[in-house]
Amino acid sequence: MFNSLSDRLTATFKNLRGRGRLSEADIDATVREIRRALLDADVAVPVVREFTSAIRERALGAEVSGALNPAQQVVKIVNEELVEILGGATRTLVLAKVPPTVIMLAGLQGAGKTTLAGKLAHALKAQGHTPVLVAADLQRPNAVTQLSVVAERAGVPVFAPHPGNQGAVDLDVVIGDPVGVARDGVAFARDKQHDVVIVDTAGRLGVDAVLMQQAADIRAAINPDEVLFVIDAMIGQDAVATASAFLEGVDFTGVVLSKLDGDARGGAALSVAKVTGRPIMFASTGEKLTDFEVFHPDRMAGRILD
Ligand code: GDP
């Protein structure tokens, strides 16, 4: 994902090796290189601006004495600032004191929500939880069936209206009432003592007022402990506008970056946490159930600067 950015930054730091004290001109040249590398990686302009001015300020003020030479000092500063824009500390799921923990997924169509539902359920099940998936995406004819397939693969039940309900759970909700499905799904989880309920919701290809309202209505109806905004890391510059629209329309507690296995430039990953003030919690890195990891800002920064 970050290969090109990583190479550019490494080359920039290489130029500093073997130098004694860095002049202001050296620092400015380095910061300019970093700025170009970030912009070419599709990182949002305001994020780049804030990031580079923090680096410039800290590099200018850095003490020369100490164990690190100037080049190492710059790398350390960039690393710390990268961790910062990626959200700082690792943030894990908040589980409800009284089960079930309700997790709602939101995001554009194709972002990877349904896939994530399966991965999350699979990971939680491996930790001893008893998740159930709820198919509240009634927008696409195929979505309910797709979630049922994902649930079966993850070995967890699905709460879904017909016709996608593959016999796993029977119920009579009205098709076309996603808020009702979500609410009944949470009630079902409570009844059957599932300790986690993951609610998949509909998304359009672009930000859409009706679906945004639907997601907001679902949120109001089920009062989730976590709302995870799933975003395709490949969408580049659109990431910030999309994330901001969901923040305003639905609000969310955390971000999941999907398709981090792709070779896109990574700008979404580096912009979304900073712009929305919400932490990146998980990364989806492929189509298999196990292509899923907790997102660690420090490890990601380390990978970028490797
Ligand atoms: P939804 O519309 O948000 O529910 O998105 P889906 O879960 O249906 O995913 C859309 C497409 O992206 C599917 O073909 C998935 O297999 C694929 N996909 C989802 N997550 C990933 C990922 O992390 N990496 C890759 N390479 N593909 C993914």
Assembly ipTM = 0.99
How far does the centroid of ligand 1 lie from the alpha carbon of residue 146, in Å?
A: 11
pLDDT digits (tens, 9 = 90+) for 126-149: 999 999 999 998 877 788 899 999
Q: What is the per-residue pLDDT for 264?
A: 67
Query: Could you tell me the pLDDT band of residue 61, with boundaries at 50, 70 and 90?
Result: confident
Query: Could you tell me the pLDDT band of residue 28, with boundaries at 50, 70 and 90?
Result: very high
Q: Are 2 and 234 in contact (CB under 8 A)?
A: no
Considering the chain, what percentage of its residues have pLDDT values greater than 90? Answer: 71
Q: Is 178 in the pocket of ligand 1 (CB under 6 A)?
A: no
Q: What is the per-residue pLDDT for 198?
A: 98
Q: Are 186 and 156 in contact (CB under 8 A)?
A: no
Q: How many Å apart are CA 209 and CA 213, to the nearest integer?
A: 6
Residue 281 reports pLDDT greater than 70: yes
Considering the chain, what percentage of its residues have pLDDT values greater than 70? Answer: 93
Q: What is the per-residue pLDDT for 170?
A: 40
Q: How many Å apart are CA 266 and CA 173, to the nearest integer?
A: 41
Query: Could you tell me the pLDDT band of residue 200, with boundaries at 50, 70 and 90?
Result: very high
How far does the centroid of ligand 1 lie from the alpha carbon of residue 51, in Å?
A: 31
Residue 161 reports pLDDT greater than 80: no
Residue 177 reports pLDDT greater than 80: yes
Q: What is the per-residue pLDDT for 71?
A: 85
Q: How many Å apart are CA 215 and CA 256, to the nearest integer?
A: 17
Q: Is 114 in the pocket of ligand 1 (CB under 6 A)?
A: yes
CA angle 162-168-170, nearest 5°? 50
Q: What is the per-residue pLDDT for 64?
A: 65
Q: What is the per-residue pLDDT for 3?
A: 81
How far does the centroid of ligand 1 lie from the alpha carbon of residue 110, in Å?
A: 6
Q: Strands across the sheet with 196-201, in order?
A: 158-159, 131-136, 196-201, 101-106, 226-232, 254-258, 280-284, 292-294
> Which of left, alpha, beta for 148 (phi over 0: left; psi -120 to 50: alpha)?
alpha
Q: What is the per-residue pLDDT for 173?
A: 43
Q: What is the per-residue pLDDT for 162?
A: 59
Q: Write down the pTM of the prediction.
A: 0.92
Q: Is 148 in the pocket of ligand 1 (CB under 6 A)?
A: no
Residue 172 reports pLDDT greater than 70: no
Q: What is the per-residue pLDDT for 65?
A: 62
Query: Could you tell me the pLDDT band of residue 251, with boundaries at 50, 70 and 90?
Result: very high
Count other C-beta atoms under 10 Å from residue 30's C-beta: 23
Q: How many Å apart are CA 169 and CA 294, to the nearest integer?
A: 30
Alpha helices in the chain (DSSP H): 3-14, 24-40, 45-61, 70-85, 113-126, 143-154, 178-191, 209-222, 238-249, 267-276, 297-305
Query: Could you give the 3-state DSSP secondary structure of residue 178?
Result: helix
Mean pLDDT within 39-49: 92
Listed in sequence order, the residues at least 6 apart from 291 whose beta carbon sits closer than 8 Å to its beta carbon are 119, 261, 284, 285
Residue 171 reports pLDDT greater than 60: no
Residue 167 reports pLDDT greater than 90: no
Point out the least confidently predicted range of 85-94, 122-131, 229-238.
229-238
Residue 301 reports pLDDT greater than 70: yes
Return the best residue to mutate from 104, 287, 288 for the ligand 1 pocket (most ligand atoms within 8 A of CB): 287
Return the best residue to mutate from 115, 137, 232 for the ligand 1 pocket (most ligand atoms within 8 A of CB): 115
Q: Is 101 in the pocket of ligand 1 (CB under 6 A)?
A: no
Q: What is the per-residue pLDDT for 165?
A: 45
Residue 221 reports pLDDT greater than 90: yes
Residue with CA nearest ligand 1 atom 26 = 286
Mean pLDDT within 9-20: 87
